[in-house]
Amino acid sequence: MAGHRAHGAVAVVTVLAAAVLAGCSDDGGDGGGTPTAPASEAVSRAASAASSLASEGSDALASATAEAGRWLEDITSGADVTGDVKAGTPKTDADGRTTVEVTVHNTADTTKSFAVQLNLTRPDGTLLDTVVITVDDVPAGRSGRATARSSHDLSGDVRAVVAHAVRY
């Protein structure tokens, strides 16, 4: 039964990703589209769905991570701004969740938003959680910050890896 639930949640992420793609339009060649209000809402829902799915177990986590990666790749149409994103050192907050400050740098000549997939791993690369966050309205040539938070308590040595980033 748990496998069936996880598969259904992946389908929800897929449907939401399609809504995001339908809500973006190319704005003339600087590496991304401009989201409409429904697309921004879909980004939020997709991140929530991925978070819920990630807390269901390792198979579901792997599915959520792969789906998030495919979703971000589709939005960028091949552009990758992962190099413009830096993850800070993971910390544990008062609720036991792992938090990581994420900094994005906007190299475009207009204000842009970013969607970032952050993987939380063990030093050996074992995936513990995946988080999708957005950093909205970063002015041209400036940096913006957001804090990623794990979907469940993580213990031990946790590393933060920027898996993929999209500027839109």
Examine the pLDDT at 120 and tell me if it is beyond 80.
yes
pLDDT, tens digit, 9 for 90 and up, residues 57-115: 566 666 666 666 666 665 544 457 999 999 999 999 999 999 999 999 999 999 998 98
Map out the domains of the chain as residue ranges.
2-167
Q: Please compute the mean of the pLDDT values over residues 18-30 and round it to a whole number.
A: 36
For tokens 């829902």, the residue is: 45
CA atoms within 13 A on the CB side of 158: 25
Query: What pLDDT was estimated at residue 56?
Result: 55
Please answer whether residues 49 and 9 qualify as being in contact, where contact means their C-beta atoms are separated by less than 8 angstroms. Answer: yes
Residue 23's pLDDT band, with cuts at 50, 70 and 90, is very low
User: Among the residues of the chain, which ranges form H helices?
Assistant: 2-22, 37-54, 58-76
pLDDT, tens digit, 9 for 90 and up, residues 143-166: 999 999 999 999 999 999 999 898
Closest to 59 measured CA to CA, from 47, 48, 67: 67
pTM of the complete model beyond 0.85: no
Q: Please compute the mean of the pLDDT values over residues 38-49 and round it to a whole number.
A: 51
